[in-house]
Structure 1
């Protein structure tokens, strides 16, 4: 990684590409966690990324300190003496997030196809499930290699879509923000700074559930100075794209965009360049959703394949690998398809919202307490005596 880009930038880009999924690309996460709340939500994307950045920094410091770069052994170092019950709960949480995130990918693609072609949402998600299943079995390597290209496509698309609209509709953005502050545009739920702050923190803690997948990259930044630079760069990149989306959607708040399942599609259909941007954003979101779904399903499939072949010798395990992969993928894809039938808005608003506070208690708070030194255990003292930083 260092030969292509500096280590700190590599970590920042891994963070961004993982954060930038179908729910983010659709704009629905920005609405659910920010624009559906008090006007002070304008500050909350920065708060969210700061919460996640601090957590990730301490997670990587712990990974480097104990040389544990897989999330199973890493979690044992995080929880110490309470690991006997905290580690299994953490495993359950990680897999629940994988299920929910893949379901959001299904729902995002299904909703987009319904908007474009008018076809049944259920039929669309079934088609996406079939594509993800096939790629998981036969083409997962190709899809993973193209993940960087897909991410670049989505980033470029966000700039093409939102920046011209922000510039063109800037007076409307100011007008809508003024209306929200005065109460002229009201929300159904609580409308206070504390509500906005709560949802901002929950967004940051929600994405901390994926920290276990990031820690392997801590190896390219063994020094704390490098890690701080990586986290600072990551916060900046993520905030820029989040604020592009925030202000782009804010321009259309008075037109009912907050009720749309895919706000990004509403922006391109009613904003600048709608004649060609609609196709662009639709293709990018669907491709991004499928790519995300394949990566997540494939990763979990490997865990199940290993479990199914645990009592077989190497020859028999290799012979049955494809069969076990098909069974595992079928189970996972069907489970995600079923969850996706709840729809995109409930999955992100309720599902992600609930996961946010669970992750806060189980991951974010322990990480910060460990990082600032308020929670120590015997192994920390042993490492200190051995001269480990």
Structure 2
């Protein structure tokens, strides 16, 4: 990894690949959390990613400081004296998110493949499950490497899809924004500025739900300087890509794009590029689904592998680590695949907002308070992060 790219870049790309799932690639999340609200939503993607970036950084620092790289032991350090109650609640929330989001990834990817190639939905989800399983059983290093490759492909595709449309339709984007601001074009709910902030905060907190999938990678560069670089680069990449999607969809806000199930597909079908971009966005959605599944499943695989080896000696744990990882990944992938067969996409999509505010209260706020030094415990003695 160090021979090609710095480890902190790999961690940044893990964040991006987990964020860029089927829901984001379709444009549906940008519409639901931002464009469906008043014109001040223009500033909110950066605000959401700032929340996520700070939470990301402080979470990594806590993991490195206490050498806790699975989310169970890590959550005990976050909640301190409240851990007996709060740590189990966090685990329930994280695993619920894992199953729901990965199931959505299977379902979205399966549906996209069915439309693009006419292959059976169930077969498509089996193929996606197999790919995710293979990528999650070979350890954190492969996950970071695959995340880097996938992220670079996705970033390139997003630039190819949205930049030409933004340039070509730039006057129209300016006009549409002015029309939204004046009220000439009504975009979903036209509530207060505080409501727009609330939805942006929920989006940032929703992404924080997946923090358990990131902390395992902090051991690749456990010094604060590297972790800070990972957070800054991750913030920049995610924010830029969110704005490309935001402005690309805004160009068609006067044509009913906000009501489309897959807004990004509407953009490429009615904008610059035509048929070949339709194939490209379909590919993005499928790759995004896989990347999200890999990041989330591996985060829990690490936790389960540690759980299975909890009563073993260090030598026994090391010897059986591979078996524990394989069995853990298999269990998780099968569970998510089964949920995907229930066709819960609308239900899961509506639940994202609720997961967001629950995560904001139970996870994001405590981590920010810990990171900013506003909530301390006896064990928080002055000291350095490992290898600082």
TM-score (norm 2): 0.85
Aligned to 2:157: 157
Residue by residue over 1:294-350, the C-alpha shift from the partner in whole angstroms, topping out at 9 and shown as x without a partner, is 664576578678878999999999999988976664443212332xx133x5533x2
Aligned to 1:342: 344
Secondary structure of 2:375's match? coil
Does residue 181 of structure 1 match 2:181? Answer: yes
Deviation at 1:118, TM superposition (A): 7.6
Does residue 75 of structure 1 match 2:75? Answer: yes
The 5 Å alignment of 1:310-321 reads: none
Aligned to 1:94: 94
Aligned to 2:126: 130
Q: Distance in 2 between matches of 1:316 and 1:67?
A: 21
Q: Which runs of 5+ in 1 are unaligned?
A: none
Deviation at 1:249, TM superposition (A): 0.7
Q: Distance in 2 between matches of 1:230 and 1:320?
A: 29
Contact 1:136 1:329 in 2 (8 A): yes
Residue by residue over 1:83-105, the C-alpha shift from the partner in whole angstroms, topping out at 9 and shown as x without a partner, is 00111111111101111211221
Deviation at 1:116, TM superposition (A): 4.0
Q: Distance in 1 between matches of 2:155 and 2:253?
A: 23
Deviation at 1:7, TM superposition (A): 4.1
Q: Distance in 1 between matches of 2:302 and 2:84?
A: 24
Aligned to 1:238: 238
1:140–1:14: structure 2 CA closer, same or farther, 3 Å change rule? closer
Contact 1:308 1:324 in 2 (8 A): no
Residue by residue over 1:28-84, the C-alpha shift from the partner in whole angstroms, topping out at 9 and shown as x without a partner, is 111111111111001001000111111112112222222222221111111000000
Q: Distance in 2 between matches of 1:321 and 1:181?
A: 52
1:217–1:342: structure 2 CA closer, same or farther, 3 Å change rule? closer
Across the aligned residues of Structure 1 and Structure 2, the Cα RMSD in angstroms comes to 3.3
Aligned to 1:214: 214
Q: Distance in 2 between matches of 1:354 and 1:215?
A: 24
1:311–1:54: structure 2 CA closer, same or farther, 3 Å change rule? closer
1:111–1:77: structure 2 CA closer, same or farther, 3 Å change rule? same
Q: Distance in 1 between matches of 2:224 and 2:333?
A: 39
Deviation at 1:152, TM superposition (A): 2.3
Aligned to 1:197: 197
Deviation at 1:286, TM superposition (A): 2.0
TM-score (norm 1): 0.85
Of stretches 267-276 and 211-220 in structure 1, the one that deviates more from structure 2 is: 211-220
Deviation at 1:159, TM superposition (A): 0.4
Q: Distance in 1 between matches of 2:73 and 2:28?
A: 34
Q: 2:336 aligns with which of 332, 335, 338?
A: 332
Contact 1:128 1:290 in 2 (8 A): no
Contact 2:106 2:289 in 1 (8 A): yes
1:303–1:128: structure 2 CA closer, same or farther, 3 Å change rule? farther
Q: Which runs of 5+ in 2 are unaligned?
A: none
1:157–1:319: structure 2 CA closer, same or farther, 3 Å change rule? closer
The 5 Å alignment of 1:238-317 reads: 238-293=238-293, 296=296
Residue by residue over 1:232-267, the C-alpha shift from the partner in whole angstroms, topping out at 9 and shown as x without a partner, is 222111111111111001101111111111111111
Counting matched residue pairs gives 377
Of stretches 187-196 and 352-361 in structure 1, the one that deviates more from structure 2 is: 187-196
Q: Distance in 1 between matches of 2:358 and 2:116?
A: 36
Q: Distance in 2 between matches of 1:317 and 1:254?
A: 55
Aligned to 1:19: 19
Deviation at 1:6, TM superposition (A): 3.0
Q: Distance in 1 between matches of 2:309 and 2:60?
A: 32
Contact 1:15 1:234 in 2 (8 A): yes
Contact 1:297 1:332 in 2 (8 A): no
1:188–1:234: structure 2 CA closer, same or farther, 3 Å change rule? closer
Q: Distance in 2 between matches of 1:190 and 1:182?
A: 11
